Amino acid sequence: MHGLFRLDGKVAIVTGAARGIGAETVRVFRDAGATVVAWDVAGPADATIDVTDPAAVVSAVAAAIAAHGRIDILVNNAGIVRDALLVKVKDGVVVGQMSEAELDAVLRVNLKGVFNCTQAVAAHMIGRGSGRILNASSVVGIYGNFGQTNYVATKAAVIGMTKVWSRELGPKGVTVNAVAPGFIATEMVREMPERILAAMVEHTPVRRMGEPRDVALAYLYLASDEAAFVNGIVLSVDGGLVLGT
């Protein structure tokens, strides 16, 4: 089948593929003709991979290449949240704060995980002289967000890494871009209180939450041959969301 934004003959790895944006990206890529290897730390996925474990990632990349002969696309979608205030003060007394465990867990998955997967795939893509690496940032990585020091730090860092890798890998035929979703109706988001959901929609000019498909289609464009001259960008998919305080 011919047409724009096709991925026929391409092999893609999608991390965090068991649900939400990752699962929808797997569906969209397969519909576009790609062979997709879905990774997640829990099922259902083609491979159970902990992206925080460099050795496991290297092995999984080797297995994907052995099975399919190549990797054309990597979507670094896996991510977690562990929200807490930096410090919570009541009547002049610190009554709570973000724990070291909450900080480290998010840094390991959202930052080190992206690093591990990209490093493991990049050498193969350089050897082939082509590839697409797509990283999940977030609207909050650009604007910040209350109670998300750890998450925002990682999503801002992903933008920085994207810009470095676009320079390092671009000359080798590999483009690297980030997508910054806004308020997307995933399982993770739906667990938020109703009043928070309503407030976020109110701050979104198109007056709705995004759907996982909105983000998956952005990944599809950036993964396609049509995006060959797009490198080092952060594509916001947020309905024009303006985050307040």
CB-based contact 64:13 (threshold 8 Å): yes
State whether the Cα torsion 64-113-74-165 is positive or negative.
negative
Known active-site residue 151: yes
Q: Return the closest-CA partner of residue 226 out of 2, 6, 13.
A: 6
Q: Return the closest-CA partner of residue 7 out of 40, 32, 37.
A: 32
Q: Which of 143, 151, 219, 221 is catalytic?
A: 151
Q: Which pairing describes strands 93-97 and 87-90: parallel, antiparallel, or unpaired? A: antiparallel
Widest distance between CA atoms in the chain: 66
Catalytic residues, which ones? 151
